[in-house]
Structure formats: C-alpha cells, structure tokens
Structure 1
Amino acid sequence: MKKKNTLTIPFLMLATIGAGMLSPMQSAVNGKLGEYVQDGNLCAVISFASGLVVMFAIIISNKTYRKQISSILSLIKKRKVPLWNWFAGLCGAMVVFSEGASASYLGIATFQTSLICAMLLSGLLCDRFGIGVPEKRPFTLLRISGAIFALIATLLVVSPQWNTPHMLLLAILPFLAGLLAGWQPAGNATIAETTGSTIVSITWNFIVGFTALTIMLCIRILLGKASFVFPDIWWMYLGGPLGLMSIALMAILVRGLGLLLLGVASTAGQLVGSVLIDLLIPALGNAVYTVTIIGTLVALFGAIITSIPDKKQN
C-alpha cells in the first residue's frame, strides 16, 4: 500500500500542477479577447456565455441536474442559507472582467501573481473573521508570514510599472478581483451542499455572473458607451470552457490529494504556468522581468507556508 501511495501522490501533484496551468491559459485567452474587442465588460460576457453553453448542455442531458437547478428559486425564497451565497458568481464575474481589461497589458505572470496574492490575503481574513466558513481560524505566525510574503510578491511583480501610473491602476483590478474571489469558494460550497450538486452550483455561478455582466453591458450600449461585436478568431471563445476544465479537474484531484496539497500544487501550476506562457508565447507581447520571476517564487513560498497546518489543530 505504501508503494502505491508513493507513486500515486507525486503523479496527482503533477496532474494538479498541470490543471493549475489552465487558469493562466484562461487569463491569456480572455486577455487577448479583451484587447481584440477593446472592452473588458464585453469580453467577460462572451467568456461567461461560452461557459454557460457547455454547462447547459450538461444540465439538459441529466434529469437529476434539471430537477436540482429548477429548485433554486424556491430554495432562495425559503432563506435556508444566507442570501449572499447565491451571489458568489459575481466574484467570478469580477475576475473575468479584470482578465479582459488588464491581463494582456500587464502580462499573465503579473496578472496571476496579483490575483493569487489577493486571494491568499482574502482567504486569511475570511478564516479569521468567520466569513463564509463554519469556524474561525486565528492568525498564526505561519499564516501572517504567508500574508506578508503575498504583499511583497505583489509589490515585486508590479514594480516594473512604477513609472507608468495607468499600468499600476490596471494592476489594481486583479488584486481587487482576488480579494472578492477569496471568499467565493465558501459560497459555492454552500450552494453545492444546498442543491446537492457541484455541477448545479457551478452552473448557477455562471448564470449569476453572466446576468450581471450582460445587464451592465446593455446599459452601457443604451448609453452609447459600448457596442457588441463577435470576434472572428475561434480560440477567443475558449475562456469559459478552460475555466470549467480547471474546476472539474480540481474536483477530481482533491479526492486523492486533499485540500492542502491540492492548494499548493494548483498555486504552483498557476504561477509557473503564467511565467511559461509569457516566456514561450512572444506573440502575446508580454515582457518577463527578473523581479516578475522573483515575485512569482515569493508568492509560491507564501502560499506554501500559509497552507502548513497549525500544530494546535492536529
């Protein structure tokens, strides 16, 4: 049995690192889409729409899923869970919006590092104050150290932009999105438990995000502040499906690794994948600075030490 575990865990870790790389791939696709349509809001609508098409196909093909998703409105009316849980999809909308508005300009490594560091900080605060989690988790030396490393990493990756204020403003977008996304998993988990299905929870997230973004876009179109165009490049529609693939793979891999190893491995995949995309795809036009690589490593180290369980909890 030990020999099997020795072989299985490294394989699952590598698979999770690979799955984590789907996130920067999604950022790269949505970033180029946003650059193409010149509108982060429109980019997010298109990305969510492509994901919804896939999710609806899955829901329609399964009777149980159809029944579970049709019960959502009645569950909301009964107020069995706090209302904010049903709007967790707005966090995902903010992430995708920031991808379309800033990822192609900042570079995937800078974007992902800023996003991940903010998610780490948000997760620590949510744990500490019991926001969306069943039990409060006090600050420990390791967790505080991880937060400090996250802040240092953020400062490092945005440092090449100090002389360009408009780029610094763009870097704020993924950071704000990450702060919101840090508590999104708690809402998603609650919805999955309430409806009895993770698939339904993911679909509801896409519905909420898509609805909010579409309303915003329609208002802007009516005010003459936006227009709707379809990109004619097929891979620009892959942002939503790439996000779904990442979610699905993580749901499978967590069973063999557990949350601790999954979190560390997926973070490694996101950060390493971001740097590789910027380095290996020059067509994206993203420069990789030495401080970007250093900041990526610092963020990874911060994620690792923050994930180490406190001895008092063992």
Structure 2
Amino acid sequence: MTPAARATDRSALPLPIGLLMALIAGCGMPLQGRVNGALGDEIGSGVGAAVVSFGVGLALLSVAILALPVGRRGLRAMPGHVRAGNFPWWYMLAGGFGAFFVVSQGLVVTFLGLALFTVANVAGQIGSGLVVDRIGFGPGGPRPVSTERFVGALLALAGVLWVVWPTLAERGVGFAVVGPMLMPFVAGLLMGFQQAMNGVQTRHYGNPLPATFFNFLVGTVALILTYLIMLPFAGPAGALPGVWWMYLGGPLGILFIGAGAVLVRFLGVLVTSLGLIAGQLLGSLAIDAIAPVPGSTVSASTVLGTLVALAAVVIASAPGRGLRFR
C-alpha cells in the first residue's frame, strides 16, 4: 500500500471516536474478569470458566456469521485471501494468544495477585505495541516511534505502576515474584501481535466478524485441550449455574477483540493498546466504586494513576517526528 493510500486509510476514522471506542471496549475487560471470576468460583475451575466464556462467545459468533451476509462472504473469501498472500494462514491462529492470556490468569494470578499480574501484562502490551508499529506488522504499515508515542508509553506504564504500588511495596520484588511475572509479560507481548494479526484480516475481510470468529474458534479449542490436560490434576469442574449474568464473559470478549481488530488499522497497535489499558483502569475504578468486592477501596492513587494513563493516551496519539534508534 502506498504512503498516500495508507494515510487515507488511517484518516477514515476520526481520532477522538477511535479513542472513545478503545476506552469503552477496555472498560468491559474488568467486568469480564469479575464475571469469569464469579463463574470460576461457582464451578470450582478457572480454566473451566474460560472454556464456558469462550464457548458462549463462539456460539454467538457462529450464529452471527451464518446469519449475516458479511459473515458468510468472509468465510467464503478466506481461502482466496490466503492463496493470494493477503495474510498467512497462521494469522487465523491469533486466538491461541488470547487463550494463553486466559490460561496465564488461571495459573499465576492467584499467586501474584491481580496488581502484579496487571503490571507485567501491561508492560508486555506496551513493548509489543512499540515494536509491532515500528516494524509495520499491523494493517496500518510502519509507524515511527515518535517522542510523543514513546513518552505516552512510559506514562501509561507509570500510571499502572502508580495504581498498584501499594501492593508492590507490600509484596516486594524478588525472584519468587519476578519469575511468575514472566508469563503475563509474555501474554502481553503476544496480545500486541494478536491485535495486529486480527487487524490485517479485518482490513481484507472488510469487517471484524470473520477474524473475531476465528479467534474464538481457535481459543475455544486451545482452552478445551488445556482443560483436558489439567483434568487429572485439578479434577472436573462443577455444574453450571443458573445465573444468567455469569455467561456475559463471552459477549464482553467479542467487544474487546472486535474493537481491537478494527482500531489497530486506524490508531496503530500502541495507541489502541494504551486506549484499551486506560479503559481497563476506568472500568476497574467504576466497578470498585459501584459494586466493590470485600476489601477493595477507591484510593487517591487509583484515581491519579488512571488520570495519568488517560493523559498517556492523548500524548501518544498526537502526531510527531520519529525518534532514531540504533
């Protein structure tokens, strides 16, 4: 794609609207975590809850992709896109990265706590966002590491660190903590590439439905295999509850993945990631204020850290000259 065409492609979605979409989609992630956590407690299996969440999302997407003409066209066009080299076939396996993120939650978030898990995951997302944009792995082509984008990335990380600093100070930072943090860090790195791969597919399909469907299909298969592998050690999950809202994790995941697949084309992976991260902090702040769990409080550091993350999104999205790295 020529630079002129790429510039037109990027300007097709106004920046304020794109940032608002990222914030709204990000706000759904803490709610998804609360829903999936409640489901996991109810059935006694975090991985089992993830299977149910992905399964519900896959069922909804299967109906949509078969019922809607754009979905059926996307399925029929997929082999042609692969044969034409528009994207490699393994781009459709991006859902495995999402499954790895969910599995990492189930394996280490209980030991690390949500605060340390979030810091490691956000650091990975910011790092992959800078790299993916710089090498042009996403649908918008290469985006230089400008001063504004670099400062915005550092500010976003600082905002998250500010929010979780009380937990960091209490736990300390030793090898017993840093070692398990590698898993959510790698999951964050993979999330940047997942968004880029979904964005490339969405650009060629013309809508995010096929790419989101393949994400949930691959993620569901990967999670079922993980559940079966862990079954001899963890035992089977309990009976499914009759509470309807415990099954909203799948629809919220559709919102998150679909929005990311669309936005990376216009905002780039870094700014999209920062917008989603800021949305997650806003969503967490709102949930703790409206429906707090026992022991959770809304502190001044939480509010200030969230404001810093929002400022980081504004700074990173501003146009600027590229930095030169050797």
Under TM normalisation by the shorter chain, which class is it?
Answer: 0.7 to 0.9
Deviations 1:116-155 (A, max 9, x none): 5542332112112333456333322222212322332343
Residue type at the aligned position of 1:212: A
Structure 1 pair 309/12, CA: closer, same or farther in 2 (3 Å)?
closer
Residues of 1 paired with 2:73 and 2:229: CA distance?
33
In 1, are the aligned partners of 2:92 and 2:211 still within 8 Å (CA)? no
Gap runs ≥5 in structure 2: 1-13
Residues of 2 paired with 1:128 and 1:15: CA distance?
23
1:180 has 2:190 as partner: yes
Q: Which residue of structure 2 aligns with residue 280 of structure 1?
A: 290
2:66 to 60, 68, 73: 60
Residues of 1 paired with 2:158 and 2:133: CA distance?
21
Residues of 2 paired with 1:139 and 1:22: CA distance?
29
Q: Which residue of structure 1 aligns with residue 96 of structure 2?
A: 90
Instruction: Name which of structure 1's ranges 280-289 and 47-56 shifts more when overlaid on structure 2.
Output: 280-289
Instruction: Name which of structure 1's ranges 243-252 and 15-24 shifts more when overlaid on structure 2.
Output: 243-252
Q: Which residue of structure 2 aligns with residue 302 of structure 1?
A: 312
1:283 counterpart SS class: coil
Q: How much is the aligned-residue C-alpha RMSD, in angstroms?
A: 3.9
1:153 has 2:177 as partner: no
1:123 has 2:129 as partner: yes
In 1, are the aligned partners of 2:42 and 2:238 still within 8 Å (CA)? no
Residues of 2 paired with 1:183 and 1:237: CA distance?
27
1:310 shift after superposition: 1.6
In 2, are the aligned partners of 1:19 and 1:246 still within 8 Å (CA)? yes
Residues of 2 paired with 1:56 and 1:144: CA distance?
40
Deviations 1:48-77 (A, max 9, x none): 001011111112223553353256467657
Gap runs ≥5 in structure 1: 1-7
Residues of 1 paired with 2:258 and 2:145: CA distance?
31
Q: Which residue of structure 2 aligns with residue 141 of structure 1?
A: 147
What is the TM-score when the length of structure 1 is the normalising length? Answer: 0.75
Q: Which residue of structure 1 aligns with residue 238 of structure 2?
A: 229
Structure 1 pair 54/124, CA: closer, same or farther in 2 (3 Å)?
same
In 1, are the aligned partners of 2:27 and 2:284 still within 8 Å (CA)? yes
1:189 counterpart SS class: helix
In 2, are the aligned partners of 1:118 and 1:150 still within 8 Å (CA)? no
Residues of 1 paired with 2:21 and 2:87: CA distance?
34
Structure 1 pair 295/226, CA: closer, same or farther in 2 (3 Å)?
farther
In 2, are the aligned partners of 1:43 and 1:100 still within 8 Å (CA)? no
Residues of 2 paired with 1:295 and 1:245: CA distance?
25
1:164 has 2:171 as partner: yes
1:237 shift after superposition: 1.2
1:27 has 2:33 as partner: yes
Residues of 2 paired with 1:181 and 1:142: CA distance?
22
2:293 counterpart SS class: helix
In 1, are the aligned partners of 2:112 and 2:181 still within 8 Å (CA)? no
Structure 1 pair 201/248, CA: closer, same or farther in 2 (3 Å)?
closer
Taking only the aligned residue pairs, the percentage that are identical comes to 34
Q: Which residue of structure 2 aligns with residue 39 of structure 1?
A: 45
1:239 shift after superposition: 0.3
1:9 shift after superposition: 9.6
Instruction: State the aligned residue count.
Output: 299
Residues of 1 paired with 2:320 and 2:222: CA distance?
39
1:17 shift after superposition: 4.5
